[in-house]
Structure 1
Amino acid sequence: MDMKSRVLIVGGTGYVGKRIVKASIALGHPTYILFRPEVVSDIDKVQMLLSFKQLGAKLLEASLDDHQKLVDAVKQVDVVISAIGGGVVDHHILDQLKLVEAIKEAGNIKRFLPSEFGMDPDVMVHALHPGNSIFIDKRKVRRAIEARNIPYTYVSANMLAGFFAGGLGQLLDKAPMMPAQDKVLIYGDGNVKGIYLDEDDVGIYIVKSIDDPRTLNKTMFMRPPKNILSQNEVVEIWERLSGLKLKKIYMSEDQLLNMEGESYLEKMKRGHLYQIFIRGDLYNFEIGPNATEASELYPEVKYTTMDSYMKRYV
């Protein structure tokens, strides 16, 4: 039997990172978690790290600014997965360039997965300012990986269900993470298709890809067929499960793009909502020859449908 790759996860206490850690352990990989020195002051993260340690993970303390410690950590494993924060709120994507340099110097890594897990940045060259800044930085990391001939897999996990299904896409203003009980904001006509993923499924697909030659130096898109849904269809699932009938308030493209008096963060959010729910940038293109699709590669993964996912809120 082939030995499982040793996996180093950077950002293992984050929203996606902790799912990757759990999947790596569950799938039998020797699992290492890199944590920053300042994490020891955060009791919740310390407790999470200790719970992973009890499951068999090895904890490695190192700062991304300490090059030698980073190199030493990388030399202990075969695969590096980064889950460094890359959202509109917690954006540290370019910190990965330090990780790229450590991987290059170590010289032993057979696969690197940078932190992406949303829309494919190479598809999003047309993204609106200021939301395009995230995609620009992710492309810089990709090009650095390729320039240094580091073997890679890029991952596009589309919409994480906790944010986009649980809150029915209500990501403006205070962004509720629970389904509405009375009214819901619909972007455009609500019929543009998006792709929703259970976060635990994302972790499983990611870890399954790391030893797979079919994903080497390719982008792996996650497009489970039953989770290719419009915003209207997700709202309908919630209405059917809850027995509620929500009032629909429609926001046109012009209204979404021309709201006044908003913060930089809100402008970023609006740009992403436009790309997803009006342009349809998650599903308006064909997967190219240098890419693969996770649910086709791993049909044994019984992914969570949004019908099943939404039952937790009833």
Structure 2
Amino acid sequence: MGMSKVLVVGGTGFVGRRVVRASLAVGHPTYVLQRPEIGLDIEKLQMLLSFKKEGAHLVEGSFSDFQSLVRAVKLVDVVICTMSGAHIRSHNILLQLKLVEAIKEAGNIKRFLPSEFGLDPARMGHAIEPGRVTFDDKMVVRKAIQDAKIPFTYVCGFAFAGYFGGNLAQLGTVLPPKEKVLIYGDGNTKVTIVDEDDIATYTIKTIDDLRTLNKTLYIRPPENVVTHKELVEMWEDVMGRKLQQITISKQDFLASMKGMDYAGQVGVAHFYQVFYEGDLTNFEIGEEGEEEASKLYPDVKYTRLDEYLKIYA
């Protein structure tokens, strides 16, 4: 049958650029949507051109031109959308509804992977405001996919190492602390933190795998399920010295939202769900319609957190 042809929407983004390269690395004919809205963003253009040099096909298309989306979709077998759902960058989740309509009209797509890549929105009905907007929007997209009877895979169940690992999950920075660190609650809630390149690798693994069709794939590699305190200890081992640990209660953490802009409040709310409620790990994977990536693909040599932290030393 050959390898599926893949269209990546959001290919210059934080996750998207990695998905493009993971797709190319294993030989999928890879197409990247090139939106005219790129304007004068020379860095994005140069990234797209670098993908072209590596063998990707650039396809012009715009969310303001529906037929251009349909034409792009008709070129491929699988669509992967990696548009940002993080308010600190941009929040474009509901734009995917136009993509769903384009896929429905094209009628040729054997699988759609919408922009998930985080907490599983289907398990987040209890999420606090204003952070729940992310999960509510993702559920709107999921409903549209399923109403349109589009085959899908949802990839979720982890935190990005770049935002939660190297900085020891400290808000407002992406660098590791050198003197003191805030510990959320008792610091013993388990979280799953995964290198973004591994996320892309697992994502591409799913697209021709019938075991993941119409299912949720959680990425929960066992060596990367740690408590906040264990994460801090890993960094202390790398540095060779101890940090001053300052505990912040649930009440004080939530109170820190006061005076923040909307994006900041959403970020704090998501950290709360991860580190106080334990929403990445407080359930067992294995119900009907669920799979776990490291079990399905034991051949993937994922980056362990202790090794990941060494790049910051």
**Bin for the TM-score computed over the shorter chain:** over 0.9
Of the structure 1 ranges 238-247 and 220-229, higher mean CA displacement relative to structure 2 is found in 238-247
Counterpart amino acid of 1:99? L
Amino acid at match of 2:96: Q
Matches of 1:251 and 1:38, distance apart in 2: 42
Q: Which residue of 1 aligns with 2:4?
A: 5
Matched AA of 1:181: K
1:217 maps to what in 2?
214
> Hey, what's the Cα distance between the residues in 1 that align with 2:12 and 2:232?
31
Aligned mates of 2:115, 2:296 — CA distance in 1 = 21
Matches within 5 A, 1:77-156: 77-89=76-88, 90-156=90-156
- Which letter does structure 2 place at the counterpart of 1:268? V
Does 2:200 align with 1:203? yes
Return 5+ residue gaps in structure 1 as ranges.
none
Is the deviation greater in 42-51 or in 206-215?
42-51
- Asked whether the equivalents of residues 36 and 62 of structure 1 are also in contact (C-alpha less than 8 Å), the reply is yes
1:254-293 aligned at under 5 Å gives the runs: 254-259=251-256, 260-287=258-285, 288-293=287-292
Distance in 1 separating the partners of 2:263 and 2:123: 22
Q: Could you tell me how far 1:265 is from its partner in structure 2?
A: 2.1
Q: Indicate yes or no: 2:74 matched with 1:70.
A: no
CA distance in 2, matches of 1:55, 1:165: 30
Q: Which runs of 5+ in 2 are unaligned?
A: none
Distance in structure 2 (CA, Å) of the matches to 1:75 and 1:157: 30
Aligned residues: percent identity? Answer: 55
Secondary structure of residue in 2 paired with 1:122: helix
In the alignment, the residues of structure 1 paired with residue 270 and residue 241 of structure 2 have an alpha-carbon distance, to the nearest angstrom, of 28
Aligned-partner Cα distance in 2 for 1:258–1:55: 48
Contact 1:40–1:46 at 8 Å: present in 2 too?
no
CA distance in 2 between partners of 1:197 and 1:40 (Å): 32
Q: Is the 8 A contact 2:167 2:174 kept in 1?
A: yes
TM-score with structure 2 setting the length: 0.97
Given that residues 157 and 202 in structure 1 are in contact (C-alpha distance below 8 angstroms), is that contact kept between their aligned partners in structure 2?
no
Instruction: Establish whether residue 226 from structure 1 lines up as the match of residue 220 from structure 2.
Output: no
Show the 5 A alignment for 1:28-67.
28-67=27-66
TM-score by length of 1: 0.97
Distance in structure 1 (CA, Å) of the matches to 2:35 and 2:68: 11
Q: Structure 1: which amino acid aligns with 2:116? A: E
Q: CA deviation at 1:65?
A: 1.6
Q: 1:193·1:228 contact (CA, 8 Å) conserved in 2?
A: yes
Question: What amino acid sits opposite 1:124 in the alignment?
Answer: M
- Once residues 252 and 22 of structure 1 are traced to their aligned partners in structure 2, the CA distance between those partners, rounded to angstroms, is 41
Q: In the TM superposition, what whole-angstrom CA distance separates every residue of 1:54-92 from its partner, at most 9, and x where no partner exists?
A: 010000111112111110010000000000111122111
Q: CA RMSD in A?
A: 0.9
Q: SS at the partner of 2:70? A: helix
Moved over 3 A (4+): none
Shift of 1:18: 0.4
- Structure 1 distance, partners of 2:84, 2:303, is 24
Work out whether residues 10 and 17 of structure 1, in 8 Å CA contact, stay in contact via their aligned partners in 2: yes
Aligned residue number for residue 238 of structure 1: 235
Residue 85 of structure 2 aligns to a residue whose secondary structure is: coil
Q: How many angstroms apart in 2 are the aligned matches of 1:118 and 1:88? A: 13
Match of 2:173 among 173, 176, 180: 176
The answer on whether the counterparts of 2:157 and 2:280 sit within 8 Å (CA) in structure 1 is no
What CA deviation, in whole Å up to 9, does each residue of 1:113-169 have, x standing for no partner? 000100000011110010000100000000000000000000104111011011111
Conserved? CA contact 1:181–1:244, under 8 Å: no
Deviation at 1:178, TM superposition (A): 1.0
Q: Secondary structure at the match of 1:178?
A: coil
Instruction: Report SS of the residue matched to 2:23.
Output: helix
Determine if contact 1:34/1:62 at 8 Å carries over to the other structure.
Answer: yes
